[in-house]
Structure 1
Amino acid sequence: MISLWDSSLQEKIGELHDDTWSIEINDSIEENRPARDWHQYISGSFAQFKCSLCKKGWGSKRVQVLFHFHLNSARNRGTIKVRRFKQKCRRCTQAPWEEPNFPVENIDVLVERLVKKIRVKCYREDLGQPNRSSVFSGRVNGPHETAHCEACHKGVCTQAN
């Protein structure tokens, strides 16, 4: 899974000031707690989920993704930590938190938005460009369910019930 995120990142950030950037999935990062000299960006996108117990699948239009990023100018290295917030199956009483599965197009949109934030925060560029939107394919029925959203439990979700 990280290879999709990394290949999208390398494609979009490639020529930035001769710096090398890496990306890692890190479920321990917390909203509003980036390390000193790190920046934070939160975005949402559509993703699919599948229950590991009953195998039921569902889609969510507002899956939160938290990014912490930092540029070490002395070493020409940038680091990005990504937390993809999970959801629980509403059918299973002992349901575990399930990982989101983002379409490749949506990973590209999320990374494109992130690279714009990096260019503004780390390189002080003035972009003034609108964001591209995520691709949504499929049907999503019903309201957002706070009880089954990890981002809601962590106080990160901006989706109204």
Structure 2
Amino acid sequence: MAETWNNAIRQKYTELHGHTWHVEFDDSITPDGTAPGWYQYISGSFAGFTCSLCKRYWASKRVQVIFNFHLNSSKQGTIKVRRIKQECKSCDEAQMEEPNFPDENVDVLVERVVTKIRMRCYRENLGDTNRASKLYDKIEGPHESSHCEACQLGICGQAK
């Protein structure tokens, strides 16, 4: 999974001033919890989930992703990524499941964070240029806040 994200970043090499950036997944990232010299960006996209217990599949149109990014003095960049999880509403012993983003939506999320990197780390003035994510499945039923990690963290875009 990290390879998909790193490949998407490598395709943006020239936009990142030729500097090397790499992606690390980090479930310890918290909203507004960046270290000094790091920046944070939160975005959402369509993703699907599969319960590891009952194998039930469900889709969500705005799965949150927290990015923390930093360019060090050697011009090496790190992007830490926390993909926000959800749990199955059908299983009593459900665990939080990782989202599965379609490759096209990984590209959209990477494009968005690269825009923020260019604005923060390279001081480029790019304005607001977000490309929309693509929905791949029909979304059925109401939002289930009790099964949403983003709701628990206070960053859910679907919470009412």
Consecutive aligned runs of 4 or more in structure 1 exceeding 3 Å deviation: none
Q: Which moved more, 1:141-150 or 1:6-15?
A: 6-15
**TM norm structure 1:** 0.95
Separation in 1, partners of 2:110, 2:159: 25
1:69-106 C-alpha deviation (Å, 9 max, x unpaired)? 0011x211111100000000000011000010000000
Q: Which moved more, 1:28-37 or 1:7-16?
A: 7-16
1:117 aligns with 2:116: yes
Show the counterpart of 2:92: 93
The alpha carbon displacement at 1:126 in A equals 0.7
The alpha carbon displacement at 1:128 in A equals 2.2
1:29-76 C-alpha deviation (Å, 9 max, x unpaired)? 11100011100000000000000111100000010000000011x211
Separation in 2, partners of 1:13, 1:40: 20
Unmatched runs of 5 consecutive residues or more in structure 1 = none
What letter corresponds to residue 37 of structure 1 in structure 2? G
Q: How many residues align?
A: 160
CA contact (8 A) 1:13 1:115 kept: no
- Residue 82 of structure 2 aligns to a residue whose secondary structure is strand
**TM norm structure 2:** 0.96
The alpha carbon displacement at 1:15 in A equals 4.7
CA contact (8 A) 1:18 1:76 kept: no
Judging changes above 3 Å, is the alpha-carbon distance between structure 1 residues 15 and 138 closer, same or farther for their aligned structure 2 residues? closer
- Residue 41 of structure 2 aligns to a residue whose secondary structure is strand
Separation in 2, partners of 1:28, 1:139: 31
| Aligned positions of 1:2-151 closer than 5 A | 2-72=2-72, 74-151=73-150
The alpha carbon displacement at 1:129 in A equals 4.7
The alpha carbon displacement at 1:160 in A equals 2.7
- Residue 34 of structure 1 aligns to a residue whose secondary structure is coil
Unmatched runs of 5 consecutive residues or more in structure 2 = none
